[in-house]
Chain A
Amino acid sequence: MTAGDPPLLAVEQVTKRFRGLTAVAEVSFTVPGGAIVALVGPNGAGKTTLFNMISGVFRPTVGAIRLDGRDLVGLDPARVCRLGVGRTFQLVRPFPALTVLDNVLIGGLVHGDGVAAARARAWHELDRLGLAGLAARLAASLTLPERKLLELARALATGPRLLLLDEVLAGLRPTEVDQLVAVLRGLNQALGITILMVEHVMRAVMALSDRVVVLDHGVKIADGAPATVVADPRVIESYLGVEEP
């Protein structure tokens, strides 16, 4: 990336307070277009809160969030999605009583070109993620890994430029992690989708990400290349809890 390139996503001095409790404090970082950036930190560090602010669920108390230079603050989740931000949820939330195909089709409706086009898009994403064989099944009947893929497919069908993945690898077996890591790398390289992921599986973080941003108690404590960040004493401290009783 050259210095003059505006980042795809810029989080600028964002703070979120809930009734006096500060969940995220003056956090700034950028995600360059085409990159994979991981957001890590211990539980309660404010990662999901940050995701919810980027995707429009919460409004930051202070600060700006820009997508391609455009401020997202104050837009509702639907608008943010239409501007090209797709997301998955920490606790997977497919539409349980709908079929796999319809789940993804609904994501594809964002483009506003009708059901048939959305259905074609849905098949395309199901093929890409290897879910086509499950198309007629109800989402509620899927296994956890399948549901995670389904949610990813639904997000992809919205045609995102930026994909927010909230612990998409959590709860998966090592082989399943490897498969999904390969899928994500493929999406990033083949389609140029920028990814910001909250992740605890450090093996995957190291393998996938170009940059790692570390949050602890709502504050950014590190931001850099994966190898540099994991060697940072402050990061080690926050993860191992040296100061905790």
Chain B
Amino acid sequence: MMAAPDPARRGRLLFGGFALVLAVWPLGIDDAYLVSVAITMLWFAAVGQAWNLMMGFAGQLSLGHTLYVGLGAYTAAALYVHFGIGPWIGVWAAVAVAAAAGAVIGGLGFRFGVRGVYFALLTIAFAEFTRIGFDHLDWLGGSAGFFLPLDHDGALPWADLRGPPLLFYYLLLAYTLGLFLLCRAVIARPLGYRWRAVREDQEAAAASGINVFRTKLAAAVMSAALTAPAGVIQAFYYNNLFPDQAFAMHRSIEMILAPIVGGIGTLFGPILGAVVLTPLGEALTLGLEALAIDLPGLKQTVYGVLLVVIVLRLPSGVWPPLARRLGLGDAATRTPDR
């Protein structure tokens, strides 16, 4: 067996290989179904990563993260439909709107000392409030839905994201990998250390000179901003938006499953969680179809059982023990040598 001396280097090599496989396989296997599953998988990996930044690193539980997906989706879609502004510009507006929402929620919550479960409820309340609001916003279609035109008069399919699923797959791949690298960079910086200090013990963090409010706010704003592009991609991939889907609470919960299963507070956990969960869900769906059983709640029930089991029996998730077995550390938890 080859013993690579440096786990960090080995980790980089393995991650590079993983990224390469994700980049290359669609070229060999041209299967619309597999591409659609992979799109779902990467989407959840990306939003899970963005959520994990706030919960895993800064310790702030958000159960309303679909708010930032929805706001991102509607912002970019509205700019496209009503003003003819394409998604490549729209995404920046989406990021700005989501960041502003994150700043409002984080600002209010953290300024007034809303902590833990109460903060989680605050995030749900904002998401639900917005959902009902959008139900009545006729300019954006209200509860009847908001639709993006399918036809495209531009020259290039990627300019307005009016292309085939594979285009979205590669877009999501770049987004997911980019988020991973960004998170890796941020947690190695002072801000990342401050996040972890605040996550572990706010009073002790404050006594170590950390401005707890600003540190938490930075996490809320960044996490919101980085979630928004997932909304934009969703809007242009599905071409329709409904408040009941875009802002639904069960979406918020679905979004956090991958990082919980993979490992809260790790870098690779959210990706691993999505790699495990999405195919599992698809297998369940296919299995039921094959058996001609129509049970709409089964997949969610299995996810629920999985959530309970992971939280009870493996609270640090699947990745940390797996990483140990592979002789790797996660950059989020690794101690560099002197």
> Which residues of A are interface residues toward B (Cβ below 8 A)?
55-57, 76-78, 81-82, 86-87, 89, 93-99, 101-102, 105-107, 109-110, 112, 114-115, 118-119, 123, 135-136, 154-155, 158
B331 proximal to A (CB < 8 A): no
Known: A78-B212, A95-B200, A110-B209. 17 other contacts (CB 8 A): A55-B207, A56-B206, A77-B203, A77-B206, A78-B210, A87-B207, A89-B207, A93-B203, A97-B196, A102-B193, A105-B193, A106-B196, A110-B208, A115-B193, A118-B190, A154-B208, A155-B207
CB distance from A162 to the nearest CB of B (A): 13
On whether the beta carbons of B190 and A115 are closer than 8 Å, the reply is yes
A186 to chain B, nearest CB (A): 22
User: For the complex, what is the distance from the CA of A40 to the CA of B210, rounded to whole Å?
Assistant: 29
Query: B208 and A89: CB pair below 8 A?
Result: no
Residue of A nearest to B210 (CB): A78
> Interface centre among B189, B200, B207, B336, by most A CB within 10 Å?
B207
With A95-B196, A97-B200 known to touch, is A107 a contact of B335 (CB < 8 Å)? no
Q: Give the interface residue-count category, chain B.
A: 20 to 34
Nearest CB of B to A154, in Å = 6
Flag if B209 contacts A78 (CB, 8 Å): yes
Which residues of B from 151 to 210 have beta carbons under 8 Å from A?
A: 188-190, 193-194, 196-197, 200-201, 203-210
Q: Known contacts being A95-B197, A95-B200, A109-B194, is A76 close to B205, with CB within 8 Å? A: no
Known: A106-B193, A115-B193, A118-B190. A98 touches B209 (CB 8 A): no
Q: B335, A106: Cβ atoms under 8 Å?
A: no
10 A-B residue pairs with CB within 8 Å: A57-B206, A77-B203, A78-B206, A81-B206, A89-B207, A98-B200, A106-B196, A109-B208, A109-B210, A135-B338
Asked if B239 is an interface residue, CB under 8 A from chain A, the answer is no
Kindly identify which residue among A56, A57, A99 contacts B335, using a CB–CB cutoff of 8 Å.
Answer: A99
- Contact between A114 and B196 (Cβ–Cβ < 8 Å)? no
Q: Are B208 and A158 in contact (CB under 8 A)?
A: yes
Q: Is the CB of B194 within 8 A of A106?
A: yes
Per the bound structure, the CA–CA distance linking A57 and B203 in Å amounts to 8
Known contacts A95-B196, A95-B200, A106-B197; A77/B207 CB under 8 A: yes
A77 / chain B contacts, CB cutoff of 8 Å: 203, 206-207
The complex places the Cα of A135 from the Cα of B203 at a distance, in Å, of: 23
Are A93's CB and B190's CB within 8 A? Answer: no
Q: Which residues of B contact A101 (CB under 8 A)?
A: 335
Taken residue by residue from 292 to 316, chain B's Cβ proximity to chain A (1 for < 8 Å, 0 otherwise) reads as 0000000000000000000000000
